[in-house]
Structure 1
Amino acid sequence: MAQVKQDPRVARKLAIRRKAQRRHSHFYQHCAHWSFNRQPGGEQPPIHWRRERWMLAATALLITLLSGFLIPVWATAMKPVAVPPVEHTLMPLALPKVEAPASKTPAMEEWRSVQVRPGETLADIFQTQGLSLSDLQRVVDSAGDAKTALHSIRPGQEFDFLIGGSSQLQGIRFDKDESTQAIIRLDATSPSMKTVARAVEMREQIAHGVIDDSLFGAANKAGLSNAMVIKLADLFKYDIDFVQDLRVGDSFTVVYDTVYRDGAYLREGDIVAAEFINQGERYTAYRFKRADGSIGWFSEDGRPIQKSFLRIPVDFTRISSPFSAARMHPILGLMRAHKGVDYAAPTGTPIHAAGDGVIKFRGWMNGYGNFVIIEHNSHISTAYGHMSRFANMRVGQHVRQGEVVGFVGMTGLATGPHLHYEFRVDGTQRNPQTVTLPKPEPLPGAQLAQFKNGVVKPQLARLLEIDNNYKLARAESTKRSDD
């Protein structure tokens, strides 16, 4: 019968176990019965508590008791040592008395803002706010030197009202002038008024345009308002007839002020510098403050833009008859000279003095109807015919340029309302549209130097730069369109 080969590692373990049992045989014999396990197979006798078992149970109980005692002691030892609180003694201290403020912070006042509408009076505004005319009278009586502003209100102007709970007027705010606000308070025993300065600043704007249809159309494209267009035309009206002389391709450049108050736009200001090119002729205007404080506009050579004479003394719709050596008279049917210019205009249109002078004739003259002659100096006089009525003036009275001398009509030999205007040199009629008008005197020497160095030089540089930029942009645009 073949033997089964045993694993060397198992044989070595068995040999070590047998050797240990032989060496410690007395221990195994003495303690072999300590096990609580029952041997398999057959019934085992019940366990008997002998000395060894009592020793094992006592050891386990001792370990349990020690664990229950040592763990709490260790946990208590790990607790931080409690520091007894420090006792503080409170000592009374005398402090100065602080009185409560006499009044509370005033509540925010609610002012009601009202804007003046066209045709509205101050009385209308007070009534729409539920206020009486006696309230208005109290305000006027308390206005002091701001009373003028209440008598000349304008559309768009603002008034602020402070009205109490019982509809009692407590205060009113309004502009005394552009840079000052007046505040009237009526909620005290006696009314009071104070003025508050408002921050006003000027900002310059620049506009450039080329006429392709009309002056207003070109100006509006350039961003100018109609009011600014009228200011521009008024500057150059002494040199340019804006009805007859404008051509396509004429251009203008304007530097003007805009007015801001408290950081908000308020209105357009005056023209600072302007250039107008009409039929190739260049005209300029620069604003300058004279030594006496008055402000005027001057050409580059320092002469006033305002000429000694107006080229046209009336706002008209068309020239109904030009200056002519021979024309067919519309009423007489005869060929005769027309020694003036007829400007058609509605009846009642104001007629202005062409220059400073003295009234030499005022009355009826055959053919001319109501007629006025103004003598300006020993050589020049102007005449105005067909007036519907005269202005309030008399012969010998001195008049200034632009002053109204009468109103358009059709008295005398006339087929429609118009002004017949004559310009006479040494008693001989000259064509008002082409006659050479005398140049005004330039600024005095010191002011002229200040004007040229302080005004013309910097503004002229700006105008030329704008013109060059426009020409460059136009050339590039033309080049792109050709490509």
Structure 2
Amino acid sequence: MGKSGLGAQRRERLKALREAALHRPVLARHLSDGFNGRWSRRQWAQASLVATLGMLVAAIVPGFSPVQDAPAPTARLSMALPLPSLPLARLHGQAGDSWQLVRVERGQTLASLFKQFGISPSTLHEVMQQPGAREALTRLKPGAELAFDLPVGEGGKGSELRALRFDRDASHRVEMSFAGGEIRQNVIDRPSETRTVVLSGKVGRSLYGSARKLGLTGSNINTLTDDIFKYDIDFNDDVAASDRFSVVVEQTWREGELISTGPVLAATFTTGDKLHTGFRFLRNGKAEYFTGDGRPLKKSFIRMPIPYARLTSGFGARKHPVLGRMRMHKGVDYAASTGTPIMAAGDARVVSAGWHGGYGNAVVLDHGRGYTTLYGHMSRIGKIRPGQRIAQGTVIGYVGTTGMSTGPHLHYEFRINGVHRNPLSVTMPPPEPLSGMALAQFRQQTSVALARIRKVENIIYADADSTPKQPVAAVGMKRNGRSG
């Protein structure tokens, strides 16, 4: 083929491309103006751009891509498998095939649960007539578990109770079976194990949170902060995250579940390099906490019977606000709103509780060893009576303005052998320490407890660099039964 033939083919291709490009309005406008059979560089660039865009659209939009062959259907086989036969208990409707466990919620009663399952009131009456049932089932606590064995019916409920299971107490479970109009009881022993453990940890972000993670109860934590270390540690300002504590308690376990935690038997608290200790001991039948040498941790008296109150009048001579003349003020006054609780300054016997002349409603307490206190101008007196023994901190009345008073406040007097003393400056008597046989028994108990605490702490805090950041619990002793 000659050069003229090649030129003719080239012109035909260019003509075809030009006709295709003319279908696009933008390019048509430019290519139709003054075309003389030969493209300019600009026209060639525009045509290349259009071709490139066309290929991209074909690659992206599925409709422009080649149609793919659908996968061939896979052959499937069906096989009949025999189902396991129903248990005889279900076939014959025997007891045990449909236990329904219920956890009692607040406000629920056994009657409401029977109604929920459609069990007749006559069955409830029969249950309550069984020995020990009324005591265990009339006051169900939230969280208690009961199990009902009912035949399966519509909605999973039935009206014929075949068996009932509940806990009579912490160590016994009762299973009642109903058959032939008779009720039979089977009492199952649930043995528990009591362990005396040492729980040790660091304060971390929160003493309460760390102690709770260890397994201490809210009551245990309050004992640490309010009874044992209240007078020696300021838990708002003196405690750091690195400070550590160890507590000895008794825990009761049953079937791998922690049932209860007893009171704090001993505790240590390390703030910086200072070690504080406290040990529980029964003195005259009353539980108290003592230091390692047998001195009570609780002070004999608290100086302010009203916490956070404002002192409005001190001890000494002053002009009486009602009588208008100079008179000896034999106590101190604390201003507080009407109804504010007033606490006993120390352990005492109630001498009198009632109207007391110018003092209005007043209470007089005898703390022994010649110490007495008086609390006046109460709006009302607490639930106390003369001759009653009360503990330090007991609410004995409420702030008021009875008697010779110009406003709600507490008038507080402190007397030693009948002589009035300034309660803000008097040297409070130290608590009576243990002595004699009681001290010997105390030392025997505390030496064992402290040795166990030190053994556990030596294991946990042996290497300061590897001291765990989270609280750690360790078993100090393990035994069956409770200690005396």
Report the TM-score range of the alignment, normalised by the length of the smaller protein.
0.5 to 0.7
Aligned residue for 1:473? 464
8 Å contact from structure 1 (residues 423, 432) kept in 2: no
Deviates more, 1:276-285 or 1:398-407: 276-285
Deviates more, 1:468-477 or 1:201-210: 468-477
Amino acid at match of 1:157: A
Aligned residue for 1:377? 368
Give how far 1:430 is off: 5.0
- C-alpha distance in structure 1 between counterparts of 2:212 and 2:139, whole Å: 31
Matched, 1:360 2:347: no
The structure with higher relative contact order (CA 8 Å, sep 6+) is: 2
8 Å contact from structure 2 (residues 353, 361) kept in 1: no
User: TM-score when scaled to structure 2?
Assistant: 0.57
CA offsets 1:154-185 (integer angstroms, 9 cap, x no match): 22222223335651334433333222223344
Matched, 1:268 2:268: no
The change in CA–CA distance for 1:200 and 1:215 in structure 2 (over 3 A counts) is: same
Aligned residue for 2:78? none
8 Å contact from structure 1 (residues 181, 197) kept in 2: yes
Aligned residue for 1:155? 142
Give how far 1:274 is off: 0.6
SS of 2:118's equivalent?
Answer: coil
SS of 1:159's equivalent?
Answer: strand
8 Å contact from structure 1 (residues 169, 186) kept in 2: yes
8 Å contact from structure 2 (residues 382, 395) kept in 1: yes
- C-alpha distance in structure 2 between counterparts of 1:344 and 1:474, whole Å: 51
8 Å contact from structure 1 (residues 246, 279) kept in 2: no
- C-alpha distance in structure 1 between counterparts of 2:425 and 2:173, whole Å: 48
CA offsets 1:100-157 (integer angstroms, 9 cap, x no match): xxxx99763533222222344444444334345554443332143x643334432222
SS of 2:415's equivalent?
Answer: strand
8 Å contact from structure 1 (residues 353, 400) kept in 2: no
- C-alpha distance in structure 2 between counterparts of 1:324 and 1:278, whole Å: 36
- C-alpha distance in structure 2 between counterparts of 1:340 and 1:474, whole Å: 54
Give how far 1:264 is off: 1.7
- C-alpha distance in structure 2 between counterparts of 1:323 and 1:433, whole Å: 14
Give how far 1:400 is off: 3.2
The change in CA–CA distance for 1:132 and 1:220 in structure 2 (over 3 A counts) is: same
Give how far 1:318 is off: 2.8
Aligned residue for 2:16? none
Aligned residue for 1:442? 434
8 Å contact from structure 1 (residues 391, 404) kept in 2: no
Amino acid at match of 2:106: P
Aligned residue for 1:458? 448
Tell me the C-alpha RMSD between the 2 structures.
5.0
CA offsets 1:50-102 (integer angstroms, 9 cap, x no match): xxxxxxxxxxxxxxxxxxxxxxxxxxxxxxxxxxxxxxxxxxxxxxxxxxxxx
Aligned residue for 2:159? 167
CA offsets 1:367-407 (integer angstroms, 9 cap, x no match): x553211223361223334544323444x332332695544
The change in CA–CA distance for 1:278 and 1:476 in structure 2 (over 3 A counts) is: closer
Amino acid at match of 2:352: K
User: TM-score when scaled to structure 1?
Assistant: 0.57
Give how far 1:262 is off: 0.9
8 Å contact from structure 2 (residues 339, 379) kept in 1: yes
Report matched runs for 1:355-434 at 5 Å: 355-363=347-355, 366=358, 369-377=360-368, 379-394=370-385, 396-401=386-391, 406-412=396-402, 413=405, 422-427=413-418, 428-431=420-423
Aligned residue for 2:41? none
The change in CA–CA distance for 1:105 and 1:128 in structure 2 (over 3 A counts) is: closer
8 Å contact from structure 1 (residues 383, 423) kept in 2: yes
- C-alpha distance in structure 1 between counterparts of 2:131 and 2:345, whole Å: 39
CA offsets 1:9-32 (integer angstroms, 9 cap, x no match): xxxxxxxxxxxxxxxxxxxxxxxx
Matched, 1:196 2:188: yes
Matched, 1:286 2:245: no
Report matched runs for 1:70-469 at 5 Å: 108-131=96-119, 134-144=122-132, 147-164=134-151, 166-187=158-179, 189-203=181-195, 204-210=197-203, 216=208, 219=211, 224-236=216-228, 239=231, 247-249=238-240, 252-276=245-269, 283-287=276-280, 297-302=289-294, 309=300, 311=302, 318-321=308-311, 324-325=314-315, 339-340=331-332, 342=334, 347=339, 349=341, 351=343, 354-363=346-355, 366=358, 369-377=360-368, 379-394=370-385, 396-401=386-391, 406-412=396-402, 413=405, 422-427=413-418, 428-431=420-423, 435-440=427-432, 442=434, 445=437, 448-453=439-444, 455-464=445-454
The change in CA–CA distance for 1:139 and 1:470 in structure 2 (over 3 A counts) is: same
Give how far 1:342 is off: 4.5
8 Å contact from structure 1 (residues 258, 267) kept in 2: yes
Give how far 1:236 is off: 1.8
- C-alpha distance in structure 2 between counterparts of 1:107 and 1:319, whole Å: 66
8 Å contact from structure 1 (residues 362, 373) kept in 2: no
Report matched runs for 1:15-30 at 5 Å: none
SS of 1:230's equivalent?
Answer: helix
8 Å contact from structure 2 (residues 382, 398) kept in 1: no
Amino acid at match of 1:160: A
- C-alpha distance in structure 2 between counterparts of 1:343 and 1:282, whole Å: 38
Which sections of structure 2, spanning at least 5 residues, go unmatched? 1-91, 153-157, 469-484
Aligned residue for 1:82? none
- C-alpha distance in structure 1 between counterparts of 2:328 and 2:135, whole Å: 56
- C-alpha distance in structure 1 between counterparts of 2:114 and 2:363, whole Å: 48
Give how far 1:229 is off: 1.3
- C-alpha distance in structure 2 between counterparts of 1:155 and 1:201, whole Å: 24
Amino acid at match of 1:113: L
SS of 1:168's equivalent?
Answer: coil
- C-alpha distance in structure 2 between counterparts of 1:470 and 1:253, whole Å: 12
8 Å contact from structure 2 (residues 198, 453) kept in 1: no
8 Å contact from structure 1 (residues 116, 158) kept in 2: yes
Give how far 1:303 is off: 5.5
The change in CA–CA distance for 1:374 and 1:228 in structure 2 (over 3 A counts) is: same
Identity %: 28
CA offsets 1:341-363 (integer angstroms, 9 cap, x no match): 84968947585683241332423
- C-alpha distance in structure 1 between counterparts of 2:318 and 2:462, whole Å: 48
Give how far 1:263 is off: 0.7
The change in CA–CA distance for 1:241 and 1:322 in structure 2 (over 3 A counts) is: farther
- C-alpha distance in structure 2 between counterparts of 1:349 and 1:123, whole Å: 41
